[in-house]
Structure 1
């Protein structure tokens, strides 16, 4: 049985990850059909198998049992338990939709991978330097610009249909970048970077995305997902099901499930209603 490791990105292409390191490419416009089998198992932490082979609830987006979750965060930059990384870090602005921009930091060695993973439609770099300087700068700029450090996944999904064009996205980022440079003090410890906008609209396949009709709330043993992949952003797979509905499957819900190729069986995993505008929703679980 092949167990899923969730959805990831190989360069600017979405892939389905498997335990053991293999990946399967995901193509827009192509059918995607599978059945969840064998129960959902904990993937383990930091390259180590789960010591008790724990089961994981179908609705969990973490994909780990409580013990492995604690181990995973025991040496984590995001949890402030790893502060002596000598490598350079970058501060960025990530754009998810009109009026929805966040500030964050990522390791320079990761390039733009973190921005793809969190579903940033567009982004720009603000500065680079040591980890703790980047952390302090992120906080200073976040408060000065009035932007959060996290955006709920539900809000990201609601914003993707009907986005303005790449020029408008870049313009909003450019205005915030200019305001960030005008904030005093932070460039003394961090190298300020010039404004260069980057856009993931094409990589995500977002052009012409229809309004969202629902989201998968969790997989079940024997449950079938079947449809056509129309877009992907961060961990989210946007699907058109056989009834023509636009549904989102959060790829984090796949982690730990055994997946078998689906046939002609009907969709049989639970679907939740689209939350209303302003719903808090679940936030991303890491910043880096």
Structure 2
């Protein structure tokens, strides 16, 4: 009987590179060049992963295209205890406000606990970022809202948009940092900052090298879901946020969102190279000219 794995996601530990995490806490480091290969057994059903460390009470089936891998009830429970959902007001930990850049015209504002360091930025696939201020949770929240209203900076950018621009990023760190520096200067000049939030200097951190994006082979598309009987096998050329960029035989580089793996029972692929046997959506290419 084939060994079965259950993936709980892609992790970005502070002391190393990305790693796939499995049920039970085991991690598989993902150095660039490593071969990543697995399959979904015929007849398999994707099941809800539960919430906050608790299994789903009914083991509900969930759609293949869901990145949350949770049924409605577990998704509600998970979000009810989420800082991102603005449902927790009494967290005593200090928080940081940040500006994160994902590509030209794609800058967002967000908050993260100081104790997490840059992990949140790595998890989101931020190509570069700078801290903006540090203070209590509610002060960080008010500052986030101030920037959204005054500078029209969003607090969310869809992953699909982040992926689509990775192949066309500016070549230098200075170019990639320009929008963050400009918005940082405008942000600290605003009136209405909470007194309890301490402004931070603009020190842009660039993750392009950590992710392995830029200068490598361009991805042609993204896996939209895993399906029973399908599989994938390829060489890891880059990893950003939850995404693995895999060079699959004969097709080029495809992006696999590892959140799509959660909830499935995964097995080693057969002896034949699986390439990419999951549905793929090709990225839209803009024409070079009018004709």
Equivalent pair of 1:154/1:275 in contact (CA under 8 Å) = no
Partner of 2:155: 149
Residue 233 (structure 1) aligned to one of 220, 232, 240: 240
In 2, distance between residues paired with 1:50 and 1:209? 41
Partner of 2:168: helix, strand, or coil?
A: coil
The answer to whether structure 1 residue 162 and structure 2 residue 168 are counterparts is: yes
Deviation for aligned residue 1:259: 1.7
- Secondary structure at the counterpart of residue 139 of structure 2: helix
**Do 1:224 and 1:265's aligned partners in 2 also have CA atoms closer than 8 Å?**
no
Which residue of 2 is the match for residue 5 of structure 1? 8
C-alpha distance in 2 between matches for 1:186 and 1:223: 52
Q: State the alpha-carbon separation in 2 of the partners of residues 276 and 81 from structure 1.
A: 40
RMSD: 1.6
* Distance in structure 1 (CA, Å) of the matches to 2:115 and 2:258: 24
Which residue of the partner structure matches residue 22 of structure 2?
18
Taking the aligned partners of 2:285 and 2:151, their CA distance within structure 1 comes to: 26
3-state SS in 2 of match to 1:32: strand
User: Cα distance 1:25–1:117, how it changes in 2: closer, same or farther (>3 A)?
Assistant: same
Equivalent residue, structure 2, for 1:102? 108
Q: Does 1:222 align with 2:225?
A: no
Q: Does 162-171 or 100-109 show the bigger shift?
A: 162-171
State the partner residue of 2:283: 274
Matches within 5 A, 1:14-163: 14-37=18-41, 38-163=44-169
> Is the Cα–Cα contact under 8 Å of residues 139 and 194 in structure 2 kept in the other structure?
no
Deviation, structure 1 residue 264: 2.3
CA distance in 2, matches of 1:227, 1:156: 22
TM-score (norm 2): 0.90
Question: In the aligned structure 2, how far is the partner of 1:56 from the partner of 1:235?
Answer: 19
Gaps of 5+ in 2: 287-291
Counterpart Cα distance in 2 of 1:209 and 1:56: 35
CA shift at 1:198, angstroms? 0.8
CA distance in 1, matches of 2:111, 2:62: 30
For the 8 Å contact 1:91–1:137, the answer to whether it is kept is: yes
Aligned counterparts of 2:248 and 2:149: Cα–Cα separation in 1: 42
Using the alignment, how far apart are the partners of 2:216 and 2:262 within structure 1? 26
Shift of 1:275: 4.5
Q: Give secondary structure in 1 for the equivalent of 2:175.
A: helix
* Residues 160 and 209, structure 1, Cα contact 8 Å, conserved in 2: no
Contact 2:166 2:214 in 1 (8 A): no
Q: CA deviation at 1:58?
A: 1.2
3-state SS of the aligned residue for 2:69? coil
2:266 to 259, 262, 287: 259
Q: CA deviation at 1:57?
A: 1.6
1:171-198 CA distance string (max 9 Å, x none): 3211211111111120523100111111
Q: Which of 246, 253, 273 is equivalent to 2:253? A: 246
**8 Å Cα contact 1:7/1:15 also seen in 2:** yes
Aligned length: 277
